[in-house]
Amino acid sequence: MVKGLTSGSVLLLVVASGCLAAPAVSAAQGLTSIPAGRSQPVAGPRLVGNRVIWAEPRARGAFAIRERSLAGGSSQQVFVGGRPRFPRSQFVDVRLAVSPSQFLVQQGVAARESAPPGFTPNSSPGTVIRVSGAGSETLARGPDCASTCFSRQMDVDQDMGIFQGPRPNTVSIRDFAAADSQPLVVDGFSTFPRVRGRYAAWAFARDIVVYDHVARTEAYRLRGVLPDVSDLRSLDLQGDGKVAFEYRPPGRQSVVAWASPAQPFEHRLPLRDTFYFDIRLDQDRILFVRGSPRGELGVTDLAGREKVLARGVEGEAGRELLDIEGDRVAWLESSCRGLRIRVASLAELRSEPRNYRPRACRLRLERPIRRSRDGFVAIRLSCLGTLALRCETGRVVLATARRYRLRNRTLGKGTRLAQFDRSFRRGPRTVLRLTKAGRVLARRRAQVRVTVSALVRDSGPSARRRTPALLR
């Protein structure tokens, strides 16, 4: 299921981190599994040397960036950011770009799926900041990103960074290792800035531009290749100037293509027709996640000869929940215990693809059930085990878990106390109206043991789940 974001302001942080530098290691043997928490990671995973880096949410809209060695051990917190407070209808929206010596954080605010219709988050301009051991440095004021925060609007390769420029429709390219370096500002920019080696790439209007920032000249341009700049869903760049991109024309499925300085025109790949969430380009290989509800992780060469590496992976448009570096591949899986980052050797996955079939999870409540004075009950169900930890709730019933004797009547086990019987709605929170029996029992008892039955689904088939609970 393709998910879009209604985005607000953005904050770009360029963090110089010497602790991220790590020696190159041989390809990881077997499958590395890293717990990534019980809530959707904000961004990542990203592979850097022998480490994997990701961002995960914290309370009150904050987020933490964590890293862990592929050799084992516990994860370490690298950076904490986020706004201290914003409305419940918003959540922090973060993207990561990482190199051995730098990492960039794009922080924005997006509307939750359960936000009221027509809700628009604050769209004040963002800021580009470089943070190092010596302190922070404001690089530029970013433009309103209401239409571009959906994608990653910065990139880094070694010490070379690229991000939105100080003026509208400009992009800034800067060498962070050079003392007192001034950014190179280039006109004609819309979205998706990328940098590798001497080349940079981005989209402008219907064109894809590849720029040689060493020679300070345009290497080549794919004119009119996009139906519209808003149709571009993913773009990645290689050090030799090759670019791979994925766009989705209106009413059609995804197109995955590439171009190079030697062949500066669109090469469409003859891949299976479906939706492609994100792509990554490395050593003339294009890594992708496609399909719904449980995606396929695959790799293809530039001729379109593809190989499925894993099934049952997480995919969400613009989120970049995959990475490739050398012979290692990282992706995300959702289980009943939470999300896990998987890292494996590309060669091993080619010979033995991973076929992950998540099982139906037991229904869980995220917080205790409490009744209100006006005869309603609010419950929040856990989305563990569903795609991207986002679920829809349908028919929900609260019933007595045992017999209750009252003065003039007896409520048998299984008596309905509250129910929600409408069609599926987004989000795990549901408000139920107490039945007459529920109101009577609620007045007579401080606590009532109940069972919760619910239909919880992601983009796949519905499943009835049930769990005991306490109504207070």
**Does residue 218 share a domain with residue 178?**
yes
Residues 289 and 312 both lie in one domain: yes
**pLDDT, greater one: 55 or 93:** 55
Average pLDDT over the chain reads: 75
Higher local confidence (pLDDT), 275 or 165: 165
Look at the chain and report how many structural domains it folds into: 2
Please, which pLDDT band fits residue 366 given cuts at 50, 70 and 90? confident
Please, is 380 exposed, middle or buried when counting C-beta atoms within 10 Å of its C-beta (0-12, 13-18, 19+)? middle
Residue 468, token pair as written in the block? 């005991």
Sort strands 255-259 and 243-247 into parallel, antiparallel or unpaired. antiparallel
Count of C-beta atoms within a 10 Å radius of residue 21: 12
Q: 11 - beta bridge partners?
A: 107, 127
In a domain, 215, yes or no: yes
Nearest CA among 387, 385, 271 for reference residue 319? 387
Per-residue pLDDT for 367 more than 80? no
Question: Do 72 and 149 share a structural domain?
Answer: yes
Same domain (yes/no): 291, 404? no
Same domain (yes/no): 183, 63 = yes
**Does residue 362 fall inside a structural domain?**
no
CA distance linking residue 264 with residue 284, whole number of Å: 15
At residue 19 the predicted structure's pLDDT band, cuts being 50, 70 and 90, is very low
pLDDT in tens, 194-215: 999 999 999 999 999 999 999 9
Last residue of a domain, one of 332, 355, 378: 355
Q: Are residues 205 and 74 in the same domain?
A: yes
Between strands 7-16 and 127-132, the pairing is parallel
208 and 116 in a common domain: yes
What is the spatial distance between Cα 321 and Cα 341, in angstroms, rounded to a whole number? 9
pLDDT digit string, tens, across residues 284-321: 999 998 876 567 889 999 999 999 998 878 777 667 78
**Domain boundary pick from 324, 355, 386:** 355
> Would you say residue 363 lies in a domain?
no
When pLDDT is cut at 50, 70 and 90, the band that residue 186 belongs to is very high
For residue 136, is pLDDT > 60? no
Q: Mind listing the pLDDT tens digit for each residue in 415-471?
A: 887 777 665 555 566 777 788 888 777 777 767 777 777 777 665 444 445 565 555
The pLDDT value recorded for residue 447 is: 73
Residue 132's pLDDT is 54
Is residue 454 situated within a structural domain?
yes
User: What's the alpha-carbon Rg for the chain, to the nearest Å?
Assistant: 24
Is 364 contained in some domain? no
CATH code (residue 209): 2.130.10.10
Q: Quick one: 79 and 137 in the same domain? A: yes
Look at the block and give the residue holding tokens 């974001």.
5
> What pLDDT does 471 receive?
52
Residue 164 lies in a domain: yes
Mean per-residue pLDDT for 223-235?
92
Q: Are 9 and 108 in contact (CB under 8 A)?
A: yes
Express each pLDDT in 385-402 by its tens digit: 766 566 667 677 878 788
- Given 321, 355, 389, the domain boundary residue is 355
In the numeric block, the tokens 């959707």 are attached to 40
CA-wise closest residue to 387 among 293, 289, 465 = 293
**pTM of the predicted model over 0.85:** no
The answer as to whether 209 is a domain residue is yes
* Residues 102/176, Cβ–Cβ less than 8 Å: yes
Do 298 and 188 belong to one domain?
yes
If pLDDT is split at 50, 70 and 90, which confidence band does 283 have? very high
Task: Check residues 232 and 436 and name the one with the higher pLDDT.
Answer: 232
What is the residue range of 221's domain?
7-20+29-355
Same-domain pairing of 130 and 78? yes
360 domain-assigned = no
Q: Would you state the pLDDT for residue 61? A: 65
> So what's the pLDDT on residue 10?
35
Are 107 and 256 members of one domain?
Answer: yes
Work out the average pLDDT over 40-56: 83
Answer yes or no: do 287 and 392 share one domain.
no
